[in-house]
Amino acid sequence: MAKPLDHLLDIASLDDDQIHSLLRMARQIKSEPGRFRNLCSGRLMINLFYESSTRTRFSFEIAAKRLGMDVVNFTAAGSSVSKGETLLDSFRTLAAMAPDIIVVRHPDDGAAAGLAAVAHSGLRVVNAGDGCHAHPSQAVLDALTLSEHFEDFSQLRILIAGDLHHSRVTRSDVEMLRRLGAGEIRLAAPEPLRPGPETARGTIQFDDLDRAIEGVDVVMMLRIQHERQSGLDLPSAEDYHRAWGLNAERLSRAAPGCRVMHPGPMNRGVEISSEVADGPQSLILEQVANGVFARMSILLSLLGGEMPARSGTQA
């Protein structure tokens, strides 16, 4: 049995058993959702979001509610942040109201880890995205989605392309793919958006999307994170799309039936065309749907939950 999770801060902090256990439980929840309904009734989760979010915030909320938890949402706008309250004071204030889990999204790298370090025993912290650093629940849902389409990761050739430098999804997904033994991880980005050495470790790097995509089984596109950069010399949206956008013609260079992923939000006509995003090879909405199961698994693991016994079977 995997060691219980204290917090979920990044993929690197998980051991292999914990990763496999999270994925196994997510699959189980997806196949038999009724067995997991209300398992965590009476527990409280607070979403503490200092950045915008649609997928992550709502799917954590839906996941918690499916498990029977109470949920409270904090957004910086409309809170005492506007009166000068610090992240730490806001966290301590909310922690004093006795939640079991606080899910944090913040623009600073390491914000969630800093809060986990001061959390009282019994309070679990989940990193829902910290700056350019990590987005571990995205990596769990992406691995879950990939595992439904590819049984043997050692044969998988996957390309991640776009703004790799500012992307916390890239860092967490690359770590997850390495840990799951992906056969080939390719990274492709224009010069100012290339990843740092730690992210690039063990990957094959390209500076040209047409070459990078040749023969891959999966391509994951990432948007340009304009909110995390200033002063970079980037082409116009049209020029970027011409050089770095995924369209049907480019996708035809990949392996037949190549799957397309994107963590969202998408900028249509920039890093991806609508015909590809909405086309038959796209897994983008499957990723969104799997986000709920992945996050139910994460919450249950943080609360020390195990798979419930089937009714009629002995414990």
Q: Determine, following the binding rule CB under 6 A, whether residue 145 of this chain makes contact with ligand CP.
A: no
Specify the residue, 223 or 241, whose C-beta has the smaller distance to ligand CP.
Answer: 223
Q: Which of residues 43-72 bind ligand CP (CB under 6 A)?
A: 53-56
CB of 135 to ligand CP, least distance (A): 6
Q: Which of residues 193-222 bind ligand CP (CB under 6 A)?
A: none
Give the closest residue to 213 by CA, choosing from 163, 240, 155, 252: 252
Binds ligand CP (CB under 6 A): choice among 202, 265, 279, 304: 265
Q: Determine, following the binding rule CB under 6 A, whether residue 138 of this chain makes contact with ligand CP.
A: yes
Q: What count of Cα atoms within 13 Å lies in the side-chain half-sphere of residue 236?
A: 2
Region binding ligand CP by CB under 6 A among candidate stretches 200-208, 241-249, 259-267, 296-304:
259-267
Region binding ligand CP by CB under 6 A among candidate stretches 23-31, 37-45, 187-195, 261-269:
261-269
Q: Determine, following the binding rule CB under 6 A, whether residue 167 of this chain makes contact with ligand CP.
A: no
CA distance 23 to 126: 17
CA distance 139 to 128: 11
CB of 56 to ligand CP, least distance (A): 3
Query: Kindly report the CA angle at 56 between 52 and 58, in degrees rounded to 5?
Result: 90
Which single residue is written with the structure tokens 């015909």? 275
Region binding ligand CP by CB under 6 A among candidate stretches 7-15, 221-229, 260-268, 305-313:
260-268
Q: Determine, following the binding rule CB under 6 A, whether residue 172 of this chain makes contact with ligand CP.
A: no
CB of 104 to ligand CP, least distance (A): 13
State the amino acid at position 5 in one-letter form: L
CA distance 9 to 13: 7
Q: Determine, following the binding rule CB under 6 A, whether residue 162 of this chain makes contact with ligand CP.
A: no
Size of the site for ligand CP (CB under 6 A): 9
CB of 219 to ligand CP, least distance (A): 17
The residues near 148 (Cβ < 8 Å, ≥ 6 apart) are 286, 290
CA distance 302 to 127: 12
Q: Which two tokens stand for residue 66?
A: 């499916």
CB of 264 to ligand CP, least distance (A): 5
Specify the residue, 138 or 273, whose C-beta has the smaller distance to ligand CP.
Answer: 138
In which order are the strands placed within the sheet that holds 101-106? 70-75, 44-49, 101-106, 124-130
CA distance 184 to 204: 8
CA distance 84 to 81: 5
CB of 58 to ligand CP, least distance (A): 8
Specify the residue, 99 or 264, whose C-beta has the smaller distance to ligand CP.
Answer: 264
CB of 55 to ligand CP, least distance (A): 4
Q: Determine, following the binding rule CB under 6 A, whether residue 170 of this chain makes contact with ligand CP.
A: no
CB of 149 to ligand CP, least distance (A): 19
Q: Which two tokens stand for residue 100?
A: 């079991």
Q: Determine, following the binding rule CB under 6 A, whether residue 263 of this chain makes contact with ligand CP.
A: yes
Q: Which residues pair with 49 in a beta bridge?
A: 75, 105
How many angstroms separate the most distant Cα atoms in the chain? 64
Question: Binding residues for ligand CP, per CB under 6 A?
Answer: 53-56, 129, 138, 263-265
